[in-house]
A and B are shown apart, each in its own frame.
Chain A
Amino acid sequence: MSAPTLTPADAPAAAPSAGSNLLRKLAATPEAGVVLACLVAFIGFSIAAPTYYSTDNLQVMGRDLAEFGILAIGESFVILTGGIDLSVGGLAGFAGILAGWFNVNEGLPGPVAIVLTLAVCAAIGLWHGTMVNKLNVPPFVITLVTFTICKGLALSVTSGTPITGMSNIFGDLSLYYVGPVPVPALIFLVVAVATWFALERTYVGRQIYAVGGNAEAARLAGIPVKRRVTSTYVVSSTLAGLVGILIIGRLGVADPSVAASGYELTAIAAAVVGGVSLFGGEGRIVGIAAGAILLELITNGLNAVNVSEYYQTVAQGVVLGVAILADRIRAQYFGGSRR
């Protein structure tokens, strides 16, 4: 670096002018590629299998999308601060069992059971944040602990048998439609818009980006770094609880095996595909939502064209690999100095 002198001439050269640079600007935006991939996948599968874009199938996709889309958004909060939350899948499964247990075994009304479950999940998030901040436990480890315990608890509380006979509210949440749109898809939309607003337009949200981008700068600027980090774990755990409730509504029973079905990895994959940097400080809700949508489009599409479930997993891995590769290449070409 031969310490360049700053002159006004530097500015126009660097600031993209409209028109010719629009393409470049799009290519430099991580979210653009994912949105494009969504369109390509949707059109491609629609041509290959006309049932793909039937209302029925779109509704199925909407409902599935809601589940790991919401998980991905919560997960992204934690990743934005440079952490990782491995507990979301296990916690979602455990939250479902907890809600069913409150409702059926304790005889609490459905709404009360839901609120209690969410509160427990929030408390678990608070615990994660506290351990990460106070004792400096690596997020990977502390959330792995929770994951393991949740998985075990879900099975042991129920002795492995699903809880049946829950209030109607659970089924209503997951299986009703507003017009042609399934309620979970609407919940996903609400969560996405709310978190987008929180991250982009509120001080707390911007400070979360600052903490993830440069914790030292944030600390020196007087931002309560630890509180911000903790808040992301609370968001992640609470949203995991919400997803757990949606899952039992869809299944009609509180099934303990949900806790072990690997939702957390899909959530992380959706975040990464959507342009969230695992180093923290980078990624937007638009991208995360698009990443979740892309994974759903592909999973469902492979079903529609009768690819075996085993190969679907391979396909998911390939998508993740391509997304990461594309992101690195983009970062190298377009000066995004990501680490």
Chain B
Amino acid sequence: MTVEPTLEKSAPSLGRAVVARLRGVHKTYGPVRVLDLPELDLYAGQVVGVVGENGAGKSTLMGTLAGSVRRDGGEIEIDGQELVAGSTAESARLGVSLVSQEFPLVGQLSVAENLLLGRRPADSRRRVVVDRGAQRRAAEAMLAAIGLDPATIPVRRAVRELPVPARQLIEIAKGWGREPKLLILDEPTSSLGPVEARLVLDLARRAADQGGAVLFIGHRLDEVREIADRVIVLRNGRLVADLTPEEATEDRLIREMVGNEVAHSEPKNAPASAPTLLEITDLTADGLGPVDLTVREGEILGIAGLMGSGRSRLIHTIAGAQPSTGGSMTLAGKTYAPKNAEQGVAAGIAMIPEDRKQQSLVLFAPIRDNVTVSVLRRISSRGVLGPRRLRAEAVKITDNVKVRMQSVDQPIGSLSGGNQQRAIFGRAFAAEPRLLLLDEPTRGVDVGSKAQIYELIDRAAESGMAVVAASSELEELLWICHRIAVMHRGRVAAVIERADATKENIMTAAATGVAQSRTELNGNPT
């Protein structure tokens, strides 16, 4: 076990009323304790910013409060009333409202019906029959309440016909309309433009001023610092810092989020003489491009960019998993124009997608079957696969990447996230690819395991593989990459050499699409 981190607690409570009182709340998934909070109080009138890396326990904390996650133990009181575990209806009844990032909306139903999902408009006296007029009026009032002109979001339209930002605003109006005592906002601005983001920040403030408590989960530290009266930092499911806005400088927050567990060695510089492996010219695809990029053998190229900037699309297009609509690629000097992912694999490309559970693994199947998928043809003699050969190969693959497990026969879903991810790397390595494509290589992996994943990536590059890694975590890219390409609205806004790369110049290029002076402009002459 790691040493219990000392909790720094200096945020003022100032004798305010406690809205939410958490004692000993904990939650375990498999072997991983994802949340462990001995004590946490949320006060009326406060906006509490919550920061932490992916997998730090932010969403579990929100889930236990909102009832979508059943806590394993501990007590939660909302306004003095005990909250029953794992019931969204109970949480809603006690006044907890979650504005989710994942928009749980019903696309087929109208905006008005979504806003009043599961409820009756207050001024409708009909119990069984829907009062559509009242529903529409209530919906328009809810949109107006968060400061939206009803003309921007017609309440009769089906939700699926609306763009993503509109859906996010509907989701916010939904949470707001329940007049919550505890309003939880989960990265509410990540899909919004600046004007709407402003509106949401103002709403959080208003909710607090009206005497509610607000939990603001943020992905942008500056935003959190601006809005919060108090910032708490989660790391590995624990509360490691509880700070006033003055204390919560960006440096301090990053230090608390990351801890000092990651000690990563500088990667060796890629040999400049190494031949170019992948050359991309004017590549376009749905929502992407034109993109020009080159990757050398043994090089780790990072892909940075905000959400929706085309990071994943670029990775998928190179892999052949998304059709390209124009431009060309050459791989090791030969024209490479994959029509599907199968042709990408055949050309020597391995991709590790971002969603392990959905896109990589059969969770209930044994480790041996999961890790050997990429080499089945090679290990089958005359097309017939022997069970002993399969097992031996699986052991070799998992040993190679040091998967911690009891045996290759246990379901891969029983491993921790970090171990699962290492197994996936093992599978990719086993196919002996020339180009390794990574999309969020450490998502849902705890901090300790991250360092091990970075080592694997280094190793791949040292063995001569070219690596393209897309990540939303800037620190990660700064640690592992030789060069970083920054995407903005589907294009490469800048390619920054490792020596020149700072968080600031990456963020600037990502947010504005304009590279700073010292960076090399690439493929985006406008």
Contacts of B165 in A (CB 8 A): 3-6
Within 139-191 of B, Cβ neighbours of A (below 8 Å) are at: 149, 151-154, 157, 160-166, 169, 191
Within 182-227 of B, Cβ neighbours of A (below 8 Å) are at: 191-196
**Residue B442 interfacial (CB < 8 Å):** no
Measured between C-beta atoms, what is the minimum distance from B321 to chain A in Å?
17
Leading 9 A-B pairs by shortest Cβ distance: A5-B193, A221-B118, A217-B104, A213-B106, A221-B117, A2-B489, A222-B118, A213-B108, A3-B308
Contacts of B196 in A (CB 8 A): 5-6
Contacts of B132 in A (CB 8 A): 201
**Residue B89 interfacial (CB < 8 Å):** yes
Contact check, A6 vs B109: say whether CB atoms are below 8 A apart. no
A218 vs B117: C-alpha distance when bound (angstroms): 7
Contact check, A2 vs B310: say whether CB atoms are below 8 A apart. yes
Chain B 111-142 interface mask (CB, 8 Å, partner A; 1/0): 00110011110000000111010000000000
A213 vs B159: C-alpha distance when bound (angstroms): 11
A206 vs B110: C-alpha distance when bound (angstroms): 11
Within 68-84 of B, Cβ neighbours of A (below 8 Å) are at: 68
Measured between C-beta atoms, what is the minimum distance from A207 to chain B in Å?
7
**Residue A178 interfacial (CB < 8 Å):** no
Known: A218-B106, A219-B88. A8 touches B308 (CB 8 A): no
Contacts of A17 in B (CB 8 A): none
Contacts of B107 in A (CB 8 A): 213-214, 281, 337
Contact check, B109 vs A209: say whether CB atoms are below 8 A apart. yes
Contact check, B118 vs A8: say whether CB atoms are below 8 A apart. no
Contact check, B108 vs A209: say whether CB atoms are below 8 A apart. yes
Chain A 37-57 interface mask (CB, 8 Å, partner B; 1/0): 000000000000000000000
Closest A-chain residue to B92, C-beta based? A222
* Chain A residues packing against B (C-beta within 8 Å): 1-8, 10-11, 14-15, 201-204, 206-207, 209-210, 212-214, 216-223, 281-282, 335-337
Measured between C-beta atoms, what is the minimum distance from A281 to chain B in Å?
5
Closest A-chain residue to B169, C-beta based? A6
**Residue B287 interfacial (CB < 8 Å):** yes
Q: Which of B98, B108, B130 contacts A202 (CB 8 A)?
A: B130
Known: A6-B169, A281-B108, A282-B108. A1 touches B117 (CB 8 A): no
Contacts of B471 in A (CB 8 A): none
Measured between C-beta atoms, what is the minimum distance from B64 to chain A in Å?
14
**Residue B451 interfacial (CB < 8 Å):** no
If A8-B152, A221-B104 are given as contacts, then 8 extra A-B residue pairs at C-beta distance below 8 Å, sorted by A number, are A1-B308, A2-B287, A3-B164, A3-B191, A203-B129, A207-B118, A220-B98, A223-B117
Q: Which of A8, A206, A214, A336 contacts B105 (CB 8 A)?
A: A214
Known: A206-B113, A219-B88. A2 touches B104 (CB 8 A): no
Contact check, B309 vs A2: say whether CB atoms are below 8 A apart. yes
Known: A3-B165, A6-B163. A201 touches B109 (CB 8 A): no
Closest A-chain residue to B309, C-beta based? A2
**Residue B376 interfacial (CB < 8 Å):** no
Closest B-chain residue to A205, C-beta based? B130
Contacts of A14 in B (CB 8 A): 157, 161-162
Closest B-chain residue to A3, C-beta based? B308
**Residue B307 interfacial (CB < 8 Å):** yes
A4 vs B168: C-alpha distance when bound (angstroms): 12
**Residue B52 interfacial (CB < 8 Å):** no
Closest A-chain residue to B487, C-beta based? A2
Contact check, A3 vs B192: say whether CB atoms are below 8 A apart. yes
Q: Which of B105, B149, B151 contacts A217 (CB 8 A)?
A: B105
**Residue B490 interfacial (CB < 8 Å):** yes
Known: A2-B490, A203-B120, A209-B106. A10 touches B193 (CB 8 A): no
Contacts of A281 in B (CB 8 A): 106-108
Contact check, A4 vs B154: say whether CB atoms are below 8 A apart. no
A10 vs B160: C-alpha distance when bound (angstroms): 15
20 A-B pairs with CB atoms under 8 Å apart are A3-B164, A3-B193, A4-B163, A4-B193, A5-B194, A5-B196, A11-B154, A201-B130, A202-B130, A204-B128, A210-B113, A213-B106, A214-B105, A214-B107, A218-B118, A220-B88, A220-B98, A222-B89, A281-B106, A281-B108
A109 vs B88: C-alpha distance when bound (angstroms): 49
Contact check, B163 vs A10: say whether CB atoms are below 8 A apart. yes
Contacts of B130 in A (CB 8 A): 201-203, 206
Measured between C-beta atoms, what is the minimum distance from B286 to chain A in Å?
10
Known: A3-B308, A202-B128, A203-B130. A220 touches B106 (CB 8 A): no
A10 vs B132: C-alpha distance when bound (angstroms): 25
Contact check, A6 vs B193: say whether CB atoms are below 8 A apart. yes
